[in-house]
Chain A
C-alpha cells in the first residue's frame, strides 16, 4: 500500500463558549447589553447562575496532531466529551477549526448520520439520488451505481415505494447502501454501524474493510463498540479531553481507553473526587467502595461478591438504599440490583455498610458498576441522591474451565447464562 497521506492534522484546536451564546432574539441581546452597560444584573441570565462561568471558554479539541495514510482504517475511541465528534465535524467541514490546520487529500464521504436528507414522501429510488447528491455524487455516478446500491440494500421490492412506508431497518439499510457506494477516497463514520440487524452489520463491516484493503480508501471510524473497532481498524487513537493520548495498535488503544475511562480494577476505589452527573440531589456523597476476598476484583461465576461501601450523609435522610447497575465494557447495561433501605442517618453522619452482591448467571467478562444512592419517596418514585457512572469494575472469571461454556460470545448471546432448561 502506498505511504501517501490522506489526512494531515496539525495543531488542531476547537473552542466553544460555555453558557448561553446570545439570547436568541435581538431584543434579548440588546437588553443584556444595556444591562451590562449600566452594571445591572443581566435580565436574561438564569437567576443565581455563576456569572464567572458565562462566556468562559473551553477547548473541545486541544491541539491534535494526526496523520492518516491512504488505505488505512483508523479507529477513534474516547469517553464522552473527549472530542471525537468535534474532530469528525471539522474533518467533514461542518464547522471550522479555531486554530491549527487540516489538509485532506481526496474527497471525503462523511456519515455522521445515516440517511441525511431523506424525505419520507419520496420513493427509495428518489432518495438514493437525493442522498447520493448530498454526499457529493453526481447524477451520472449515481446512475452507474444504482443497481449495486439497490442490491446491497436488500430492499429491491420496495425501491419505488415512499420511504415513509419502510420499516426502520429497511430505511437504515437503504441509507447505508448509498453511503457505502460513494466514490470518495476517505470515509468518515460516526457509529453508523450500530444499526440494522446482525447480518447487515457484518455485511457493512466487510464492505468497509474492503474499502480500506482492496480499494485503498482511508476509513475513519468512531465507535463505543470495541468489537467493531477490532474488526474494522488496523490502527486506533484514543482521545481524552481534546488530546490524543494514544496512537497505535488497536488492542493497546482499547486497553488505554479502558484505563482512562475509570475502569479501575484496584480493590479499593475512592469515589469522593469523581465528577457527578447533573441530575443528582447531592444530599449524600459516596466515599469509598472496597472489594473484598480478591486482590484484583476477580470472582468466579455465581460467587457472592462482598464489598465495603462507605458514604456520608449531608442531610437527615431516611430509607436510603443503594442501587447498582451492571454495565458491559461497551457501555450497554446488563442488569440492575437494589439494596434494602439502610438505616436512618443524620446530617454529617458517616455510614459504612457491608454489601453482598450476587450476579447469578453472569458470564465471564469485565463489567463496570454504576452506583447510586437513592431514596424511595411515598409515591414509589425514587430520588437519586448521588450517582457515579462506571464507578468501579470487576471481573468474572472461572478458575476451573470444566463447568463453564467455552467461548461464550457475549455479543451474540448476552451477558447472562440462565439456569439450564429442565427436561422431564
Chain B
C-alpha cells in the first residue's frame, strides 16, 4: 500500500470568492515552478551556436547602441556617470520589468495546450516566468558589476554602498509589479487577442516615460517630472542608480505612491486571474 497519510479534500463549486487563490497549493507545486524556470533556459538555448552567451550578448549590444545613439548622437546627459554603466544598469533593471510583464502576459494563450489537459495551480506559470527573468537579470548584473568594479576602482563612480542592500527590495517590487500587470493582461487576452499586440507596443513606449536612457535630473522641476516620477517603474530604476552609481532621485513620497500602486495592481491581478483561470478553457 502506497497511500499517503495526508488526506486531501477538494470541493468544486461554480461560485468562487473574490480572492480564491490557494497559495499553499502553489507552494506544494514549487518543484514544478523550478522545473518550468529551468526549462525556459534549456529551451531557449538548445540548437544555438553561442548558447547561454546570448544572455550577456543581448544586453551588451543594447548598451552599446544606447551609448552610441542616446549618449553619442543625441548627447543626452548621464549626470556625469560613465555612459556604459548608466545605460547598462538602466537597461538591466528595465529589462527585468519588461520581461516579467511581456512573458506573463501570454500565460493563458501560450499555455492553452497544457492548461486544457491537466490541472496545476495556474499561478505556477507566471511565477516561474518572473523567476527566470530574475535569473536573467542576475547574469546581466554580474556583467554590470565587472564594468562597475573597474570604474569604482578608478574612482569614476562613487556608489552609496548602503543603498546596495536595497537591491532585493527593488527586485521583489519590480517582479511583483510586472507580474501584476502581466496577469491582468493575460486574463484579458483569453477573450481579446488584440491586447497582446498592444502590450508589446505599450511596453516599448513605457520605456520612454521611464528614466532608462536619460536621468530624471534632465527634466527640471516641472509637471513632466511629476508624471515621470509617478510612473511606478521610475523609483526602482532611480534607486538602483542611486545605490550603484551615486546619482539618482530617491523620494519617499513617490516610493510610497508606487508601492500602493503595486499592491493595488497585484491584488487586482490575482482577483482577475482567479476569476479567469477556472473557466478560461471555455473561451480561449
Contacts and interface: CB of A to CB of B under 8 A. Distances in A.
Contact of B194 (A27, A106, A119): A27
B22 to A, nearest CB: 11
Given A110-B119, A134-B32, A135-B118, A24 B3 contact: no
A133 B13 contact: no
Nearest to B46: A121
A113 interface: yes
A104 B14 contact: no
Interface string A142-184: 0000000000000000000000000000000000000000010
Interface stretch (A85-93, A271-279, A292-300, A366-374): A85-93
Contact of A94 (B7, B119, B192): B119
Given A22-B191, A89-B281, A107-B8, A96 B117 contact: no
Contacts of B43: 119, 121-122
Q: What are the nearest 4 A-B pairs in CB distance?
A: A93-B119, A96-B278, A133-B32, A102-B12
10 contacts: A26-B195, A94-B117, A94-B118, A97-B12, A101-B13, A104-B10, A116-B113, A116-B117, A117-B118, A134-B120
Given A92-B119, A94-B117, A98-B14, A121 B283 contact: no
B10 A93 contact: yes
Interface in A95-131: 95-108, 110, 112-113, 116-117, 119, 121-122, 126, 129-130
A16 interface: yes
A94 B281 contact: yes
B42 A121 contact: yes
Interface of B: 1-4, 7-14, 16, 28-29, 31-32, 34-35, 39, 42-43, 46-47, 113-120, 191-195, 278-279, 281-283
B128 to A, nearest CB: 11
Contacts of A27: 194
Interface of A: 16, 21-22, 24-27, 29, 89-90, 92-108, 110, 112-113, 116-117, 119, 121-122, 126, 129-130, 133-139, 183, 185, 215-216
A101 B117 CA distance: 21
B118 A134 contact: yes
A92 B4 CA distance: 20
A263 B34 CA distance: 52
Contacts of A106: 7-8
Given A29-B192, A105-B8, A138-B31, 6 more contacts: A22-B283, A24-B191, A94-B116, A97-B13, A112-B118, A116-B118
Contacts of A92: 118-119
Q: Of B114, B116, B117, which is in contact with the most chain A CB atoms at under 10 Å from its CB?
A: B117
A160 to B, nearest CB: 14
A104 B192 CA distance: 34
Nearest to B4: A183
B201 to A, nearest CB: 14
A168 to B, nearest CB: 18
A97 B15 CA distance: 9
Contacts of B2: 183, 215
Contacts of B115: 94
B117 A113 contact: yes
Contacts of A94: 115-119, 281
B117 A122 contact: no
Nearest to B34: A139
Contact of B9 (A21, A90, A103, A215): A103
Nearest to B42: A122
Q: Of B34, B116, B191, B282, which is in contact with the most chain A CB atoms at under 10 Å from its CB?
A: B282
A136 B119 CA distance: 9
B10 A96 contact: no
